[in-house]
Amino acid sequence: MKISGTGAMVVGGASGLGAATARALAGAGARVTLLDRDVDRGHAVAAEIGGTFVAVDVRQPDTITTALTTAGPPRIVINCAGIGGGGIRTAGKRGPHPADLFRDLLDVHVTGTFHVCRLAAAAMAILTPLDDGARGIIVNTSSVVAQDGPVGMVAYAAAKGAIEAMTLPMARDLGPAGIRVCTVVPGNFETPMASTLPDELRQGLVAMTPFPKRFGHPAEYAALVCHLIENPMLNGCIIRIDGGIRMSVVG
């Protein structure tokens, strides 16, 4: 699907990977709407790229519906909203893993992603198909943590694992409507979320990355998203972008 002139929605677009993707899509000629709960940064990024911002909390489906109504049905939907949360074992010296932290991570990542997908797909499904029968694409964001299972990341891994598990059934559900679904699995990327990691942990993560020995640039994540949009054979896929890292026992 071509990006130029196409309506795109970037959820979590006020920061990090989402903001980089919004910039790349706008640069390629898309009409971009940013959805985020961070109102100040959302407006700032939207102004910078000539896009629109709508305040959304992905845990609240009515806010997503409002955004879809305001912007109109998009053909491109990128899910980048997320929160971190790690360094806590299933049970350890401080007792059992807090249940509320587990629930919070699943609420934002799993339920939030699902709300965006189900509501956006319903809106997309009424669009006129393009010449090849395509109506649109949804790209979700997991993390290598879901596959590599580092210590202290059980809740985040569960949340991201669920996003990966939804990919194929969603692609099969939405295939008849001409809607593709792919999931990107980033390693470590330089974003505000990653900036909270302690120096020692960052150095350890870089050391276990074969090449390049650095955190990824958000623009590199965005470039992959643009390729997913443009290549119609990529569907139902879960694709790592990680410099070859396989996380060992860190966290």
Ligand X SMILES: NC(=O)c1ccc[n+]([C@@H]2O[C@H](COP(=O)([O-])OP(=O)(O)OC[C@H]3O[C@@H](n4cnc5c(N)ncnc54)[C@H](O)[C@@H]3O)[C@@H](O)[C@H]2O)c1
CA distance 78 to 8: 8
Smallest separation (angstroms) from ligand X to the CB of 211: 17
Smallest separation (angstroms) from ligand X to the CB of 234: 19
Each residue 41-80 as x (binds ligand X by CB under 6 A) or -, in order, gives ---------------xxxx--------------------x
156 annotated active-site = yes
CA-to-CA separations, 169 to 9, 156, 162, 210, in angstroms, rounded = 22, 21, 12, 33
Nearest to 236 by CA among 170, 141, 159: 170
Q: Name which of 37 and 232 has its Cβ closer to ligand X.
A: 37
Binding positions for ligand X, 142-181, rule CB under 6 A:
143
Q: Does 21 bind ligand X (CB under 6 A)?
A: no
Q: Does 3 bind ligand X (CB under 6 A)?
A: no
State the sign of the Cα–Cα–Cα–Cα dihedral 116, 122, 127, 133: positive
Q: Does 15 bind ligand X (CB under 6 A)?
A: yes
- From the list 53, 102, 156, 221, the catalytic residue is 156
Q: Cα-flanking dihedrals φ and ψ of residue 250, to 5°?
A: -125, 170
Q: Catalogue the E-assigned strands of the chain.
A: 7-11, 31-36, 52-55, 76-79, 91-92, 95-96, 136-141, 179-186, 238-241
Q: Name which of 15 and 135 has its Cβ closer to ligand X.
A: 15
Token reading at 167? 């990919």
Task: Catalogue the active-site residues.
Answer: 156
List residues near ligand X by CB under 6 A.
Answer: 12, 14-18, 36-38, 56-59, 80-83, 108, 112, 141, 143, 186, 188-189, 191-194
